[in-house]
Amino acid sequence: MLGGRGFWILVWYGILALGLIGLWASVLWGRRLRWQNLDEILRAAGTIQVSAGMLLLLYGLAQQVATGLLGLAFGVFVAAFVAGRNMPARDGGTDEMDDDGVPPLAPASPPDEAVEADRHEESLPIGDRSS
């Protein structure tokens, strides 16, 4: 085994910590988005389940439970994929954060006429200054 069992236990504890942080952030963000980020919440839950299952396997405890957690995590990741694919497309004119008082980004303004004229002059072939 590459790195030894202790190394992989440490790695999976790190992945568990990332999953817990991801779940916490997803729940906070989900409250602001009215739970439209279900795919992120499911991915974080799946990460926690995978790391818990792998830790149980590495410690040699409850191997059937660990295998069940890994199978359940696979189902959760598939559900996250399906939930992400079924999310309604955002239209460009609205922003979810409008209720928080944060203004949406302004649309790009049309180019200035002077800048457009300079571009036109630069694109003329050499020697042709008829315009």
Residue 121 identity (one-letter amino acid): E
Q: Does a structural domain hold residue 62?
A: yes
Q: Does a structural domain hold residue 119?
A: no
What's the CA gap between 62 and 70, in Å, rounded?
12
Interval 116-125 mean pLDDT? 56
Q: How many domains does the chain have?
A: 1
pTM attached to this predicted model: 0.61
Check if the beta carbon of residue 37 is closer than 8 Å to that of residue 88.
Answer: no
Q: Does a structural domain hold residue 95?
A: no
Q: Does a structural domain hold residue 72?
A: yes
Task: Give residue-wise pLDDT tens across range 46-94.
Answer: 999 999 999 999 998 888 999 999 999 999 999 989 888 777 665 554 4
Domain hosting 64: range is: 1-86
**Phi, psi (degrees; rounded to nearest 5) at 41:** -65, -40
